[in-house]
Amino acid sequence: MAVNLEHKDWQGTTDGTKWMLETLIRLFKKLPLRALYILMATWIPFYVIFGVRGTAASYRFARKRLGKNIISSVLYVFANEYKFGQIILDRFAMYAGKQFDIKAKDIAVFRELSEGEKGFMMLGSHTGNYELAGYTFPEKNKTIYAVIFSGEKETVMKGRESRFSHTNIRMVPMKEDMSHIFELNAQLAEGNIVSMPGDRVFGSTKSLTCTFFGQPARFPAGPFALCVGRNLPAVMIFVMKTGLRTYETYIERIDPPAEGTKAEKMQKMADAYAKGLEDAVRKHPLQWFNFYDFWKMQ
């Protein structure tokens, strides 16, 4: 069911001034990752206390979706913020040149599509560290057009550009007038790959309602409309942190159904994505980083 929705609670940018973010990258060139984790941990109470919306959303997720008691939910909030901090630091560590060990489960699913003639979608999410996938698995057969938030901080954009400069990845800024959709559609027609998150509605207010953690939640219709419109598959990829320098990926293919209306096909693909996302989050519940009421029906 297509409906209108726009999340107002999402800032969409990385916290910190340009000087702070550039200093962080320089620190990574001199200090070990574990030392910066410890330093970052001292800031967690500040974010929990003053990040009212994010803290409340994290608490509700633990209580209502994971079924934790009050004390466990409070502890979850701190652990969730700490894990998020680790993920952000890992991203900047990559900008500084540090490497991570990513164990790719079911990578053959991705390789089969990348070696074919047709284009396809890569669907990520705001869980784990999806950005690391692009740095670790450079694509040789096709060009990946990665949709990114156009309001992101300059330091983050430069870091991405530096890491992407030696790959077949091109960044496509997300625009509120949705004009970037035309480029994405054209690149799919050329047999390339389009990478975008499948768990947030932004710009276009069209969405699909799926059952997620037992309750209705809304997912963007755009990725699934692009797939169904050209009868192209998608792969959902979740990159989840498992250790100090280790990550594990979960990769699953989603194909448009052979029968049904366009709306029905989009819904089935969205349902499959929502199920895959829920499975990944249940395995790694601390790595759910949508810090707003994902289930709020507006």
Name the phi and psi angles at 251, rounded to 5. Answer: -125, 130
Domain boundary among 64, 95, 126: 95
Alpha carbon distance 144, 120 (integer Å) = 10
Residues 72 and 176 grouped into a single domain: no
pLDDT: which is higher, 178 or 101:
101
Tell me, yes or no, whether 190 and 71 share the same domain.
Answer: no
User: How sure is the predictor about 258, in pLDDT bands with cuts at 50, 70 and 90?
Assistant: very high
* 111 domain residue, yes or no: yes
The answer to whether 224 touches 264, Cβ cutoff 8 Å, is no
What is the Cα 102 distance to its own chain's centre?
Answer: 16
Q: At a CB cut-off of 8 Å and minimum separation 6, what does 120 contact? A: 113, 188, 193, 194, 227, 232, 233, 234, 235
Mean pLDDT computed over 111-133? 92
- Tell me, yes or no, whether 27 and 132 share the same domain: no
Residue 49 and residue 124 share a domain: no
DSSP letter, residue 16: S
Looking at residue 25, its pLDDT comes to 64
Task: Count other Cβ atoms within 10 Å, centred on residue 249.
Answer: 22
15 or 182, which is more confident: 182
106, 254: one domain: yes
d(CA 18, CA 155): 6
DSSP 128: T
177 and 203 belong to one structural domain = yes
Give me the residue label for tokens 């050329």: 190
Tell me the one-letter amino acid at 235.
V
Quick one: what percent of the chain has pLDDT higher than 90?
A: 54
End residue of a domain, out of 47, 75, 95: 95
Ranges 23-27, 90-94, 169-173, 196-200, most confident: 196-200
Could you say which DSSP state residue 139 is in?
-
In a domain, 298, yes or no: no
Judgement on whether residues 268 and 150 belong to the same structural domain of the protein: yes
- Do 124 and 248 share a domain, yes or no? yes
Question: Which pLDDT belongs to residue 70?
Answer: 97
234 pLDDT more than 50: yes
pLDDT surpasses 50 at 255: yes
SS3 219: strand
Is the pLDDT confidence value at 54 over 80? yes
CA distance 192 to 81: 36
Most confident of 49-53, 84-88, 270-274: 270-274
Query: Has residue 228 been placed in a domain?
Result: yes
Whether residue 111 is found in the same domain as residue 59:
no
| Separation between Cα atoms, residue 194 and residue 204, nearest integer Å | 17
235-244 confidence digits (pLDDT tens)? 999 999 999 9
Residue-level pLDDT at 291: 92
Residues 40 and 79 in one domain: yes
User: If phi over 0 gives left and psi between -120 and 50 gives alpha, with beta otherwise, what is residue 106?
Assistant: left
Can you give the residue range of the structural domain that contains 211? 99-285
What is the average pLDDT score of the chain?
Answer: 83
pLDDT digits (tens, 9 = 90+) for 152-184: 444 444 545 555 555 678 888 777 666 778 889
Q: Are 256 and 227 in contact (CB under 8 A)?
A: yes
- pLDDT mean over 259-264: 96
- DSSP letter for 221, please: S
**Is 9 a domain residue?**
no
If you write DSSP's letter for every residue of 52-108 in order, what string do you get?
HHHHHHHHHIIIIIS---HHHHHHHHHHHHHHHHHHHHHHHHHHTT---EEEETTHH
Whether 9 shows a pLDDT value over 70: the answer reads no
Question: By C-alpha distance, which of 295, 283, 289, 298 is closest to 124?
Answer: 289
Which pLDDT score, from 0 to 100, does residue 151 have?
47
Enumerate the β-bridge partners of residue 241: 247
